[in-house]
Amino acid sequence: MRANPRLLLTVLAATLASACGPTPPGDDDDILATTSLDIDLAAGEAWVSLREGRVLDPAEVDPANWDLHVDGWNLFLNGGASGAGSGAGIPFRDLDPDLQFEEVNREQDILYFLFQDDYGSVLSNWWAYGLRGGHNVYSRFHRYWIHDSGLWWKLQLLSYYQLVDGAPEAAHMGFRWQEVAEAGNGDVRELIVDATAGGISAAPSDPLNHFKYVDLDLGEVLDHDDDSAAAALDWHIGFRRFYVRLNGGTSGGRGIGSFDVDADIVESDAALLEMTAQSTLAQFEALGWADRPSETLLVEDEITPVLVGWYRGNPGAGASVDPIPYLLSVADDSDRAKMRVTSLEDGSQSSPQSITLEYAILP
C-alpha cells in the first residue's frame, strides 16, 4: 500500500505497540458500543474531547483537554505538529486493508503503530508499506523537483535500510540529487543520512529525537537540532525516520518549494517491488531544464494530518463522506480509540457545515 500523498508520511512515527490480532469478533466477543457525536461547523472549526464525549466550548479549550480539532476539512490530532499532547493515529487500511470497524473491539484485537501529524512536504509520499505482507518501507522512486531562489534540483529517495553491524537497520535515508541548469545538468550525487532519531519509540524530549538537516550545496549534514533549524537558512532538506521536510512553508523560512513529477502514477505492488536505484537511474537522469514545472505548481511545507481520506469529491461541490475507520490515541495517551466519520453536510471549499463522528474508547 502506498503512502497517502497528503501525509504523511508521512507522517509519521510515534508510538509502537504490539498485541495479538486482528481477531474478528466471535460468539464470545461482544461488539463494542459506540458513541455518535454531531459536530456543528458553522464557525469553521470545533474542538472535541473524545475522553469526555463532547464538543468543547472555544473558551474552555486548553492544550491538554482536546483530542481532535476539526478545522474545516482537516482532522487534526492533539500531538506532533498539531498540538502539545501525545495524540497519534492511523487509518485501518494502512494496517490491514480488509480490517473492518466492527472487528476491533479491544486494543488487543489489532497489531498497530501510530503516526503523529507533522510538517509534511510534497516528498512525504515517497514510501510504500507492507508490499510483501510485512512491516517494511519501500521507496516509490518518485522524482521530485526542488526549487530554491532560482536554483533547481531534482531529487529521488532510494532506500530506507542500511546494513549496520551486519544487520539491516531502518531510518538510514539514502537519496540522490542533481542540480539542473539551462547550461546542463550537474553531477548526480548521493548521500545516506542516519535519521534514526533515537528509534521509533523515542520520547519527544529525547535529545536524539530530531531531524537531520542537509545542505544540498555542500552535500553535508549540518549541526542543527529542530529549534535551531527553525530559524536557519543554511539547510535544504531534513529527515527523521521516514518524515521528510524542506526549508519552506511551516518548516522554515528559506522558501523552498517542491513538485512531484510522478504524482499521477499509480504503481502496482509488483511494479514497486521490481524497482531499484539502478533501474530508475536513467529516468532520473533524463529530466532536464525543459522539464521544470511552472513555479505556480510548486508547494511549500504545511502541517499534514494523519486522519485523511474521510470524504470523497471536491469540498463545496458535492463532497460526500467516506467512512473509513481510524485507530488513534487520545491526547494524554491514556486510551486508544477507533473512530470514523459517518456523515457530513457539504458546505464550502473551506469547511463542511457539519459532520458526525462514531467512535469508541477501546478497553
Instruction: Give tens-digit pLDDT for 247-305.
Output: 999 999 999 999 999 988 888 889 999 999 999 999 999 999 999 999 999 999 998 89
pLDDT of residue 5: 34
Measure the CA–CA gap between 90 and 277, rounded to whole angstroms.
29
- 56 pLDDT tier (thresholds 50, 70, 90): very high
pLDDT of residue 28: 46
Mean pLDDT of the chain: 89
* 327-352 confidence digits (pLDDT tens): 999 999 999 999 999 999 999 999 99
pLDDT of residue 237: 97
Residue entry with cell 513538485: 259
Residue 342 · residue 323 · CB < 8 Å: yes
Is the pLDDT score of 225 beyond 90?
A: yes
- 4 pLDDT tier (thresholds 50, 70, 90): very low
- 50 pLDDT tier (thresholds 50, 70, 90): very high
pLDDT of residue 24: 43
* 126-166 confidence digits (pLDDT tens): 988 777 766 788 999 999 999 999 999 999 999 999 988 88
Percent of the chain residues topping a pLDDT of 70: 91
- 231 pLDDT tier (thresholds 50, 70, 90): very high
| pTM for the predicted model, two decimal places | 0.73
* 13-48 confidence digits (pLDDT tens): 333 333 333 444 444 457 899 999 999 999 999 999
Residue 289 · residue 182 · CB < 8 Å: yes
Residue 278 · residue 226 · CB < 8 Å: no
Give every CB contact of residue 208 below 8 A, 6+ residues apart in sequence: 196, 197, 198, 202
Neighbours of 298 (CB within 10 A): 18
- Alpha helix ranges (H) inside 222-304: 226-230, 269-274, 281-286
* 191-216 confidence digits (pLDDT tens): 999 999 987 677 767 888 899 999 99
Q: Which long-range contacts link 253-256 to residues 24+ away (Cβ below 8 Å)?
A: 254/148, 254/149, 255/148, 255/149, 255/300, 256/146, 256/147, 256/148, 256/300
Which amino acid belongs to residue 31? Answer: I
- 309 pLDDT tier (thresholds 50, 70, 90): confident
pLDDT of residue 304: 85
Phi, psi dihedral angles at 274 (to 5 degrees): -85, -15
* 90-107 confidence digits (pLDDT tens): 999 888 878 999 999 999
pLDDT of residue 29: 58
- 113 pLDDT tier (thresholds 50, 70, 90): confident
Percent of the chain residues topping a pLDDT of 90: 70
